[in-house]
Amino acid sequence: MPSPDHLQRPLSRRGFLAAGTVAAGVALGLVSGPAQAATWPRPFGRYGSPAARLTPLTLYVDPRGRGDFTTVQGAVSAATTAGYTLVIAPGVYRETVTAGVTDPVTGQLTAAASEMTWLGAGTDPGSVVIVYDNANGTQKPDGSGTYGTTGSATTTIRTDGFTARRITFANDWLRADHPDITGTQAVAIKVQGDRSAFFDCRFLGHQDTLYADSLALGVFARQYYTRCYIEGDVDFVFGRATAVYDHCHFRTLDRTDLATAPYGFVFAPSTAVANPRGYLVTHSRVSSEAPGGYYKLARPWVPGSDTTAHPMLTVRETALGPGIDAVAPYTNMSDTYPWQSQRFAEYRNTGPGAVISVPENRPQLTAEQAESATREAYLGDWTPGRRR
């Protein structure tokens, strides 16, 4: 049986992939059988059970059949009114999940499944893993084409007022396993709803791990991520949401398929020109498995669907490790839209990746400007929920 210390230590995506799903389940104490039963005698912890339901709108998910549903999608599909809570027992859930109800007549998203909360019932986010392995270039089973970037997402959140706690969202598709596929974007989660909050969660992937977006170009979606861990290599935090990353850890991965820098880019915002708030990273840190200086901090994404986009990123009071190219931390995705013309800025960052040796390459906020670059200013009248 794994020791409690081992269970509480997060299993990295690299270790998760190397072990494979079954072995990873063993390492996390998640497989069925005597060892699992001894490790998790109460699969839902302090959150009750189907026999002692916290509220009528609480649903229980357990892959071994001790809840209302064995899959996350099964529970999400049953949550057809606002205010449901899903308590998810420890386990590896290999499935794709979409939260958000579309009206069958109008095709428009309805508010029926809004204000939904997912609670990981384990001791840490590594205990509950939602994972799949589609990429942009993966062929659909019905032969209708490939999934595309959006379709590759393991989890898609389209409803407003969503909250997740202590859950790992992952996409374990690997380039090395599919040398014939050139569309290597593989999204772990796409978040489009307004007032979406993630507490103590992990987001694991390589390219395009966390897609923090909105439902439409003219819709501004506020999102909040705190005490979260996000890893990847190319543009692995991207999209047009108004998103605050507070006390988060971003980790860039090593790459054996490239011989020279850059290996990738941490952020690729695509903020709409009309949106006064893009990405804010505050009191966080960026570490790396790669050699020093092999990653850029960001590049602006101006997608073909919105050539008027004006990407915005502010990184403040954050520790930037040696993996970030301190001399030239920003670069262009397209020379048509130079990063210097976008809304990129920093404020009081520390670490070897934050050293200012070429000032024109590192625009800085003034103290006065920094007063409006706060969580409260970005989230407006919304205060993310209390810890549960």
Residues marked active site are found at: 208, 235
234: nearest Cα among 257, 217, 215: 257
- State the residue for tokens 């949401």: 241
Q: What's the burial of 82, exposed, middle or buried (CB within 10 Å: 0-12/13-18/19+)? A: middle
Please give the structure tokens belonging to residue 147: 């999934």
In whole angstroms, give the CA distance from residue 369 to residue 380.
17
Q: Secondary structure of the chain in the HEC alphabet? A: CCCHHHHHCCCCHHHHHHHHHHHHHHHCCCCCCHHHHHHCCCCCCCCCECCECCCCCEEEECCCCCCCECCHHHHHHHCCCCCCEEEECCEEEECCEEECCECCCCCCECCCCCCCEEEECCCCHHHEEEEECCCCCCECCCCCCECHHHHCCCEEECCCCCEEECCEEEECCCHHHCCCCCCCCCCCEEECCCCEEEECCEEECCCCCEEECCCCCCCCCEEEEECCEEEECEEEEEECCEEEEECCEEEECCCCCCCCCCCEEEEEECCCCCCCCCEEEECCEEEECCCCCCEEEECCCCCCCCCCCCCEEEEECCEECCCECCCCCECCCCCCCCHHHCEEEEECCECHHHCCCCHHHCCECCHHHHCCCCHHHHHCCCCCCCCC
Q: What is the C-alpha R_g of the chain? A: 20
